């Protein structure tokens, strides 16, 4: 299959897709000319799946993660976890470090890989460079204090 022109099934309809297929942004009220290539696709797969609706949007109506605003909001809600005891909010897509730890590009960071202990997300130690699990035991996010690795890196860069 080439990516210039092909057919997909979306919402029970067959439509033409591909970077050679001219279209208009599917955001209500937007008349921006686009194509139905992967660069304008909401999600990862033409036709839609759990990663996006499969709609086609202009650059103004796609987020940095290639989602329309509705799918981006849904992803934010699905990946938000609030610590029941402290009220602290966590985005489970982030990488974490134990509070007070320094970041080193070769270090281990902690990432939620979809595992839970009851209702509590587990953080698994992964290699900071490629996010491969280290093989060491995961810890509940509710145990100990965690900081977003990106915030630790930002502090190191600005010298704060």
| Radius of gyration (C-alpha) of the chain in whole angstroms | 20
Strand locations in the chain (E): 6-10, 13-24, 33-36, 80-82, 89-91, 95-98, 108-117, 120-127, 139-140, 146-148
Q: pLDDT tens track of the chain, all 160 residues?
A: 578 999 999 988 999 999 999 999 999 999 999 999 999 999 999 999 888 999 999 999 999 889 999 999 999 999 999 999 999 999 999 999 999 888 887 889 999 999 999 999 999 999 988 889 999 999 999 998 999 998 888 888 886 5
Task: Kindly state the DSSP code that residue 138 receives in the 8-state scheme.
Answer: P
Order of strands across the sheet with 95-98? 139-140, 120-127, 108-117, 95-98, 146-148
């Amino acid at each position: 299959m080439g990516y210039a022109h092909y057919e997909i099934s979306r919402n029970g309809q067959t439509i033409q897709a591909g970077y050679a297929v001219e279209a208009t942004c599917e955001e209500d009220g937007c008349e921006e000319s686009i194509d139905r290539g992967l660069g304008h696709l909401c999600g990862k797969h033409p036709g839609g799946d759990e990663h996006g609706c499969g709609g086609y949007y202009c650059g103004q109506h796609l987020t940095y993660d290639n989602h329309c605003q509705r799918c981006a909001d849904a992803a934010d809600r699905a990946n938000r976890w609030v610590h029941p005891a402290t009220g602290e909010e966590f985005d489970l897509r982030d990488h974490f470090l134990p509070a007070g730890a320094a970041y080193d590009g070769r270090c281990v960071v902690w990432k939620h890989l979809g595992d839970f202990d009851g209702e509590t997300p587990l953080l698994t130690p992964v290699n900071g460079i490629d996010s491969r699990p280290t093989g060491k035991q995961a810890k509940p996010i509710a145990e100990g204090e965690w900081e977003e690795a990106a915030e630790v890196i930002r502090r190191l860069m600005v010298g704060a």
